[in-house]
Amino acid sequence: MPILVFLLDTSASMNQRTYLGTTYLDVAKGAVEIFMKLRARDPASRGDRYMLVTFDEPPYGVKAGWKENHATFMCELKNLQASGLTTLGHALRTAFDLLNLNRLVSGIDNYGQGRNPFFLEPSVIITITDGNKLTNSSGVPDELHLPLNSPLAGSELTKEPFRWDQRLFALVLRLPGAAAPDNEQLGSVPTDESAITQMCEVTGGRSYCVRTQRMLNQCLESLVQKVQSGVVINFEKTGPDPPLGGEDNSVESSRPVSSFNPQPWHSCHKLIYVRPNPKTGVPVGHWPIPESFWPDQNSPTLPPRSAHPVVRFSCVDCEPMVIDKLPFDKYELEPSPLTQYVLERKSPHMCWQVFVSSSGKQNDLGKPFGYLKASTTLTCVNLFVMPYNYPVLLPLLDDLFKVHKLKPNLKWRQAFEMYLKTMPPYYLLPLKKAMRMMGAPNLIADTMDCGLSYSVISYLKKLSQQAKIESDRLIVSVGKKAPQETGIKVKNHSSALSLAHRRDFKQLLQGITGEGPLRLVDINFKEFAGFQIALLNKDVKPQAYRNAYDIPRRNLLDQLTRMRTNLLRTSLKLIRGQDEDFLHSIPVAQMGNYQEYLKMMPSPLREIDPDQPKRLHTFGNPFKQDKKVQKASIDPAAGDRPG
């Protein structure tokens, strides 16, 4: 079930107009709707979950989360307004925290017990922004920084704020405001140069520099293809490069290959596809990817893990190993320079072993847990995940079934015990399950534990409970509106009373100005023939008595008279700060709002005779009565007469 989070920039700069005549925010809203229509073509989109996050201050930035339905999502999207700051770092942290809510409760991260690719919540965060300077309440930062402190419990167990099944993509709108660009670029859309690009690449995603509506549609079609179930892994080469062989490059094979020059395929940061089971719709797997540390029963805490595991591959050709009935996991790699290099070697019957550093007892490369191998048809490269140190285990199991016939001797048992000591303890449970499937259930003692200390186990249970509480709190806060600012807050630095509080303030003011208080009768209203009561923006209420900048220039003289009248209290009005014109100046959108008026009306009087039946008004004549009732009242015995 893919999770699609739309992170929309609602800073004030999104109000700028494009050559299409719409604002950037309108373009962003339209892009979300187009994406959803394109995604709906895929039958797998039925299980999609959509979330909406904006740049508003936490916790008001989450508009649609885990519990909101599609109608709420669309309503919140339609009502978005651009009026804040470009707080991209806080908004990204909010989006990641929203996704990470249930991970500790469900336990899919499996801290300290290996990483299971088949335990995942594939998530795609699509950020739509204008790429302008980042702003916050304290200034204009040059770099993108995500807040380190997170309200979520257990966030310290992972170094990064994201997880390996979460990828960030950014649509950076660069549409011109004057005219459409003449030389529209065809082909691939370039990445943008804004601060979010590096963050996208770290998570396994990318950014798009959008200059026209056509490029935007092209990017949305590309993004729909990116919605895949999988996890991101860092593949890094260890050891020397493979020797060049084959008929075509026999001349070059005599030259030594330098491994000091880094090639693009030496280090790849790519996705492995985790396909769901066609019958159940849920991915199924057996073996984890090992942790980068050996679990210590005496350690009171767990070391923090990186979001993406570093899997090292050795370029030494090996034959792929497999035995009957032993389960293994097979994951296809996303196309990359590594897959291209492996396929170009055209060796589908050879494989490269993969390792995780420090996964064994010694802090070295560790033992192999699988291998990379090209498919037989040379169309893709697959990662096969096997039991830890499978070159030792598989011959043992093969002998158990073929030689010993499930009745092992002492020598075999000693070799098997030695293998179990070199294997990380969190492999015991999947190994027990695999051997039960193969028909050898009682070879591993039940007394062996998972390798974690009691304090770590109790801490993880406590984190799960805290995460559940925090999850409920955050779900309740979704959709709450931020408190509106009533005006500009001015700090009062002096404790002395203002002059306006003095009793002789009017006399002081008259002494300064040299004139008496004006009356409305003495003012010639015809002097300002062009004056009209109107609002530049119907959504913004004027703060004429609070903020002088809300007064249009053409209304300054008239407003000055109003302010003077209000200050000196020359009019006999009960409402301070208003006059006759202001009382009757109502926005058009509120003129038909009778609901508030009806609430203030007194309740109607009761009927004089409550026992009298109410007359139902019918269409046409309100005094018309039902014919059946009328006939029954005239001739009650009509039904008893014989026909």
pLDDT tens track for 177-223: 877 776 666 667 888 888 888 889 999 999 999 888 888 999 999 99
pLDDT computed for residue 127 by the predictor: 93
Calculate the alpha carbon distances from 622 to 39, 573, 615 in Å.
55, 47, 9
Which of 117-126, 245-254, 538-547 is predicted most confidently? 117-126
pLDDT band at 533; cut points 50, 70, 90: very low
**Which stretch of 375-384, 429-438, 532-541 has the lowest confidence by average pLDDT?**
532-541
Window from 93-107, 220-234, 378-392, 565-579 with minimum mean pLDDT: 565-579
The Cα 35–Cα 6 span in angstroms is 10
| Helix, strand or coil, per DSSP, at residue 207 | strand
Token pair listed for 459: 């801490």
Q: 103 Cβ partners below 8 Å, 6+ apart? A: 109, 121, 163, 467
**pTM score above 0.75:** no
pLDDT band at 471 (very low <50, low <70, confident <90, very high): confident
Q: Is the pLDDT of residue 170 over 80?
A: yes
Contact 25, 10 (CB under 8 A): yes
Between CA 449 and CA 417 the distance in angstroms is 15
What are 158's two structure tokens?
């992972």
**Residue 526 pLDDT greater than 60, yes or no:** no
Ranges 76-85, 99-108, 427-436, 496-505: which has the least confidence: 496-505
Rounded to the nearest integer, the mean pLDDT of the chain is: 78
Secondary structure (DSSP) of 354-391: EE-TT-SSSSSS----EEEEE-TTSS-EEEEE-STTHH
Rounded Cα gap, residues 641 and 643, in angstroms: 6
More confident residue, 419 or 541: 419
More confident residue, 133 or 37: 37
pLDDT score of 579: 56
pLDDT greater at residue 452 or residue 462? 462
Query: Does the pLDDT value for residue 57 go beyond 60?
Result: yes
Query: What's the pLDDT tens digit per position in 33-50?
Result: 999 999 988 888 888 889
Q: What is the mean pLDDT of residues 433-460?
A: 77
Q: What is the structure's pLDDT at 625?
A: 60
* Beta-bridge partners for 374: 381
Query: In angstroms, rounded to a whole number, what is the distance separating the alpha carbons of residues 414 and 634?
Result: 108
Burial tier of 562 (Cβ tally within 10 Å: 0-12, 13-18, 19+): buried
Q: What SS3 class is residue 141?
A: coil
Listed ranges 45-54, 250-259, 477-486, 520-529; the one with the highest mean pLDDT? 45-54
CA pair distance 612, 621, nearest whole angstrom: 20
Q: Is residue 211 a contact partner of residue 286, using CB atoms and an 8 Å limit?
A: no
Ramachandran sector of residue 166 (left: φ over 0; alpha: ψ -120 to 50; beta: rest): beta
The residue-averaged pLDDT of 326-343 equals 90
Sequence-separated (6 or more) residues with CB below 8 Å from residue 504: none
- Distance CA(71)–CA(177), nearest Å, equals 32
Burial class (CB in 10 A: 0-12, 13-18, 19+), 256: exposed
**Tens digit of each residue's pLDDT (9 = 90 or more) over 250-287:** 334 333 444 456 788 888 888 899 988 877 778 888 99
**Backbone phi, then psi, for 352, in 5-degree steps?**
-115, 125
Query: Are the beta carbons of 4 and 48 closer than 8 angstroms?
Result: yes
- Say if residues 167 and 122 touch (Cβ distance below 8 Å): no
pLDDT above 70 (res 469): yes
Assess whether pLDDT exceeds 80 at residue 355: yes
The encoded tokens of residue 515 equal 């004139």
**How high is the pLDDT of residue 366?**
84
Which of 64-73, 150-159, 180-189 shows the lowest mean pLDDT across its residues?
180-189
Give the pLDDT confidence score for residue 488 in this predicted structure: 45
Identify the pLDDT of residue 124.
93
Higher pLDDT, 584 or 228: 228
Give pLDDT, residue 7. Answer: 92
* Phi, psi (rounded to 5 degrees) for 259: -90, 5
The rounded distance, in Å, linking the Cα atoms of 169 and 208 is 8
* Cβ proximity of 239 and 317 under 8 Å: no
Q: Are 47 and 1 in contact (CB under 8 A)?
A: yes
Largest separation between any pair of C-alpha atoms in the chain = 122
Q: Residue 626's pLDDT is what?
A: 57
**323 close to 397: Cβ distance less than 8 angstroms:** yes
Give the residue from 339, 326, 323, 317 showing the smallest Cα distance to 271. Answer: 339
Over residues 11-26, the mean pLDDT reads 88
Report which of residues 466 and 256 the model is more confident about: 466
Answer for the pair 535, 542: CB distance below 8 angstroms, yes or no: yes
Cis peptide bond prior to 425, omega within 30° of 0: no
**What percent of the chain stands above pLDDT 70?**
76
Dig out the tokens for 143 from the structure. 């770099």
Residue 634 scores a pLDDT above 60: no
* Residue of 282 and 534 predicted with greater confidence: 282
